[in-house]
Structures are given as C-alpha cells and as structure tokens.
Amino acid sequence: MSDNGTDTKAIELPASMTVRQLADSIDSSPIEIIKTLMANGVMANINQMIDFDTAAIVAAEMGYDATLEVIDQVEAGDSGEIPLWRRLIAKEKEEDLVRRPPVVSILGHVDHGKTSLLDSIRQTHVQEGEVGGITQHISAYQITHNDRLITFLDTPGHAAFTAMRSRGAQGADIVILVVAADDGVMPQTREALAHARAAQVPIIVALNKIDKSNANPDYVKQQLSEVGLIPDDWDGDTIVVPVSATEKSGLEDLLEAINLVSDNMDIYANPNGEVLGTVIEAEIDRHRGVLATLLVQNGTLHTGDALVAGTSHGRLRAMFDFNGNAIEEAGPSTPISVMGLNEVPEAGDVFRVVDSDKEARAIIADRLDRQKQQATLAAPAMTLESLFERYQSGEVRELRLIVKADVQGSLEPIISSLEEMKAGDKVGEIGVNVLHADTGNISKDDISLAAASQAIVMGFNVTADVAARKQAEVEGIDIRNYNIIYRLTEDVEKALKGMLEPEERETVIGKAEVRAIFTIRKIGKIAGCRVTDGEVRRNAFMRVIRNDKVIHDAPVSSLKREQEDAREVRQGFECGINVEGFDDFKVGDILQCYIHELVKVE
C-alpha cells in the first residue's frame, strides 16, 4: 500500500480501539499492525486497546489519513450548537439513509390543553395491545396516520424540552404549539415559541378549545401574526389547525398537517448505523431496577446491547414498546423503555451503544472527568462580556436576547431599536435575535430559556425574582438591568462590535527547557522537556528560543506526559513537546509557551 502520502485514503477512527479493530478498519492484518506498532516503540497484543493518536500513526503508515469519529469529537467536548444525533446522521452515506417517523413535541401555555391533546390522539389512534410485560406509562408513543408512523413525545411542559435542549440533544423534529382559542397567546406560548425557534424546529399551531362558546379564532390568529406566526389562510406559512381535544375534533387535520410538514423535511436516519439517541425520562422501579424511556435516533437498538447513557451504563436486559410489550429491536424514532442500566440517567442525556462494558466504563470515566473539570471552571456561562469569545470560537453566531420591560410602551421602542441594529451595517452581518420579549419581572422561566438558548436577559425597569436570581447564579446567566433605553441599546451595540472586532492579546504562560530529543517515526522529533516556569498547554503556541533568538514560532502540535496526551503540564514536570513545522530541537533550547486572549474593544 502507498506510503508516500499522495494518495492517502480518508478514514474515521474512534477515540480508542483494539489492535484487531484497527486492522479490520484499515483492511490490514493484526500482525502488520503489531509490527508497525513495534517499529514505533509500542508493544501491543491483538486485543490491546490503543488510542486514536497511536492508531492514526499506524494508519498513516498504511496509507490512511485518519480523523476522529464525530461521536468522539463530541465526547471530547466539541458540543457545538447542532445536536449530536443530527451531526451523526449528516455524516452517514446517502444510500444508507431511510426515512424515519417524525418526532413531535407538544408545547404551549399551561391549561391550554397539551395533556388533553396528547391523550386524545393516543386514545383515538393507538390500538392498545394486550397488556405487556410492564404497565408503566411510557412517556412517548407512536401512532399511524394514512399508513405513516408519527412519534409523539408525551412530555408536556417545557421543563423536559429545556433540559433536552440545554444538553444539545433536543429530539423533536416538529413542535405543535397549543393555543387555546378562548385565551390566546400567553407568556408561556411566547416562551415555547422562542424555544422552538431557537432549536430551528418547524411549528404547527393547534388552535384548541374551538368548541367553547367564547372561542375567538380570528382574534387569536391576529395575536399569532403579531408574534410572527402568520396563519396559512392569511397568506402566511404557519399551519393553524382548529381542534378540540375534549371533543376529539380536528385531530385528523392536525395529523395531516404533521405529515405535510414532514414531507418537506429531511427526516432520515441510518437503521444500520451507529446506535444513538436521547433519554426521555428515567426512574427507579423497586422490582425491576432502572427503567429508562429512550428515543432511538440512529441505528437499531437490540436487547443484549451494551449501552452508555449519560454516566450510567449496562447491558439491555429487556426492552418494551410503548404498550409495554417486550420487543427485541428498535429502529430510528422508536420510543422504548429499557431495563439494565446501573444508574438513573437524566432526561436529555445522550445514549449510545458500545462494543463492550469496558468501552462503556472508559467513556463514563472520561465524561465524569470532563464534568469535574467543568465544575471547577468559574461559572459565567453567558455574559455580555464573554459573548465575543464565544462568537470567535464559533459557539455563538448571533446575539440572543430576552427582554423584559415594565410596560408594553417601553418594550416597543426597545425592540424596534434592537431590530434596527440587526440591519445596520455598522455591526456587519451579526444580528440581534430577540428570542423573547414581554412585560413583567424576570422569572425563573426566562432564565431557563436563556440557559437553553445561550441568551442574555435584559430588564428595563423591572427586577428579577429571587428564584430567577438564584437560577441565574447556578446557570451563570447574565441579567442586565436598565432604566434608560439608550444605555441598554448602547451596551448591545458595544457587545456586537466586540463580537466583530475583538483584539487579540498575547500572554506568556510558561517556559520549558529541552533536555533530550526523541525520534518517533512519522511524527518526527519530539523534545523531551522540563517545565521550568508556569505551565505549557496543548492549545497554545510555542516559541523556540536558541541563543536568545526566536528560531521558530508555531502552535503546539502535541503535548504528552508519560506517553499520554496532556492538556497542560505544570512547572517542575517533564513532558514531550512537538511544535508544528519544526523538527530541529536541540538540547538547551528554551520553549516559551503563550496563548492568544481576546480582549473586548471599549
């Protein structure tokens, strides 16, 4: 096979694998792999686990250019804005994809009829089978309409939705926004709308309680138009379906609307691909241990599979459909209840199938490690000041705001000047996105929304409730209070400018001295160093200084401590350092480590 690098083949490899698995993935024999490893100074047997870096070196020798699998990139902390399962499906080959049932979530203001609607659809469209192995109510179900399956997440209220979104694992393809025809658009309607918009999920409005004598559909449609949901019969593109959950009328039209909307969406998955999905809810059952309701989003889950869900794991002892009947396998968009996990995972946790319990434990150890690290990092998740850094890192692409004001009269000018800013070329293409604007004090729900959608909360002549303040502290959400409109808009403008033009400042964080040079085939020369000052980091830059002259200046390409990859190495410790584009280390060279910090433009 070619070793000259000109016709390398691309391949994705997991974060760790056995020698045998590597051999299989790159069409080689385990013996070849073991030989190559030995040539690089690694002694391994056929069942030994090797890490991605090692595997990549071996693969390179065999003519492959290896990248880390998407799923492991995410495990490594690269969570991004797009849910993991969507990213995974995006990587699947087109010919492997098949249509899957749409997953529908019902949101709306309290008492507008979410539960009633879910119950009516269930009663009219689910043929309850014989009572199966478990009798628990599974918080999701599937129905058939015109021979097509639809999956409903039976978790009304947006607590679950918020939790799922904030973990980047939001599962719904379509949101049904329930609005009572006798009550109209209410605060939680707007909030639910903001959630759906932030998640970029299409919305169908169910205009419920149409049977009531005081129902006023035209008035509600007017209100819907005001929040940007222009009904289709008013030449808009939001489907508004009048229904009555109690009289079970309009349900067929609603289901037809779901089919119609999903026709225009890419709702696919690979039933034979990597198995992955989201935990809908979980609890401990005294007799059966942990019972978890899962939504499969890609691949097919089988009983006996080894599973990791959040930080719990186990082999699936039994699996049930939503009617409680034992089943052996479950494909994409199927809600199921499973037994066999060792702990209760959280709603919104991602689950995936792994090859062995050993791999499961390794992933969990890694996740726990990361959780610990994150917990020790100083809080602020979202502040106006930190926005541009997040923008730079690609985490945030717009400035999302939640605005609360004392009266409608002050809300309007604030929104219109913020929206002007969106258009103004002064701030370029980064826009302000007012996710939610309303009158009243800042509530806990506002903070949940901010946390789920990475928004800043701005108050005008209002205060934050005690519960909201506490929640904001926990979530690290920035609440800004103003009593002069132009101060508010000025701050937003400043933040936008900062997002566009952060200044880079360089900070030296440590120094290391080269004590020995090692040569490793394919990687080249590695400098064996001792950190003499501060610390050196993997995500940093390095100046190679010889005789007081800088002879090279480039990013660190690898940092190892006792052959393990390290994020940072502190003063007094030894480490192996490699710098991009440099192969000429000499004993006595000084390596100066620095980082770029982004600084707000005042």
Helices (H), 236-345: 251-263
Return d(Cα 108, Cα 246) in angstroms, integer: 17
Half-sphere exposure of 322 (CA within 13 A, CB side): 21
- Residue 94: partners with Cβ closer than 8 Å, 6 or more residues away: none
Residue 134 or 180: the one with the smaller Cβ distance to ligand GDP is: 180
SS3 content of the chain, % helix, strand, coil (to 5): 30, 35, 35
Residue 243 or 542: the one with the smaller Cβ distance to ligand GDP is: 243
**Which amino acid does the sequence have at 38?**
M
Q: Which of 432, 433, 480 is nearest to 460 (CA)?
A: 480
The alpha carbon of residue 132 and the mean position of all alpha carbons in its chain are separated, in whole angstroms, by 34
Minimum gap (Å) between residue 248 Cβ and ligand GDP: 9
Minimum gap (Å) between residue 120 Cβ and ligand GDP: 8
Q: To which H or E segment does residue 357 belong? A: helix 357-376
Residue 114 or 600: the one with the smaller Cβ distance to ligand GDP is: 114
Minimum gap (Å) between residue 182 Cβ and ligand GDP: 8
Do the beta carbons of residue 531 and residue 570 sit within 8 Å?
yes
Q: Which of 2, 18, 46 is nearest to 354 (CA)?
A: 18
**Token pair recorded at residue 220:** 């509600």
Minimum gap (Å) between residue 413 Cβ and ligand GDP: 33
Minimum gap (Å) between residue 210 Cβ and ligand GDP: 7
What residue ranges bind ligand GDP (CB under 6 A)? 108, 110-116, 156, 208-209, 211-212, 244-246
Residue 246 or 383: the one with the smaller Cβ distance to ligand GDP is: 246
Residue 155 or 312: the one with the smaller Cβ distance to ligand GDP is: 155
Minimum gap (Å) between residue 363 Cβ and ligand GDP: 37
Residue 109 or 552: the one with the smaller Cβ distance to ligand GDP is: 109
Do the beta carbons of residue 123 and residue 316 sit within 8 Å?
no
Minimum gap (Å) between residue 160 Cβ and ligand GDP: 13
Residue 20 or 212: the one with the smaller Cβ distance to ligand GDP is: 212
Minimum gap (Å) between residue 183 Cβ and ligand GDP: 10
> Can you give the C-alpha Rg of the chain in angstroms?
28
Residue 34 or 179: the one with the smaller Cβ distance to ligand GDP is: 179
The three-state secondary structure class of 267 is coil
Residue 245 or 531: the one with the smaller Cβ distance to ligand GDP is: 245
- Residue 445: partners with Cβ closer than 8 Å, 6 or more residues away: 187, 188, 191
The alpha carbon of residue 186 and the mean position of all alpha carbons in its chain are separated, in whole angstroms, by 29
Minimum gap (Å) between residue 491 Cβ and ligand GDP: 37
Do the beta carbons of residue 511 and residue 531 sit within 8 Å?
yes
Return d(Cα 283, Cα 468) in angstroms, integer: 28
